[in-house]
Amino acid sequence: MTANPQVLLCLGLGVAATAEDLWRRQISNWIPAVALLGGIALHWAERGWWGGLLALGGAVGGFVVFLAFYLLGGMGGADVKLMAGFGAILGPSLLLWAAFWTAAAGGVFGLGALVFYRLRRWWLRRPAVAAENSIPYAPAITVGAWLALLSR
């Protein structure tokens, strides 16, 4: 895989979102906004107005994919916005692969977090804390987007 603008945009924004979600348990609005605008500009530069429409389609698709999870309370709004931003970068053709890889990575990370929290609770002999009730999902979204790019 070459370091084209699409890869660099996914890499930079994915690292920023992951770091902030792990550190602060939130994602600043500038990250999905830059992803959305960058994805539209990137696709517009490659294919003109049709590319811009494809990027918007990817953004809407990314938003819709995770909207149900947000409405059910299993995911934060920032995660939905981040997936919409990555959808604009990836476009509709890679969005389903990104959603698949995101779900797989989320399952692996969730299982790892569950084991970590349980071992820590057992080791320290104390009750669970509120942070153990949620798992940062930006790392899974980022890995899903990266793996979708690798799959093409």
Residue 54 has pLDDT above 80, yes or no: yes
Domain ranges in the chain?
Answer: 5-151
Residue 9 has pLDDT above 90, yes or no: yes
pLDDT (tens digit, 9 = 90+) per residue, 68-127? 889 998 889 999 999 999 999 999 999 999 999 999 999 999 899 888 888 877 777 776
* CA end-to-end span of the chain: 9
- Of 105, 17, 5, the closest CA to residue 51 belongs to 5
Q: Which of 28-32, 73-77, 141-145 has the lowest mean pLDDT?
A: 73-77
CA 3 to chain centre: 20
Residue 2 has pLDDT above 70, yes or no: no
What confidence tier does 145 reach under pLDDT thresholds 50, 70, 90?
very high
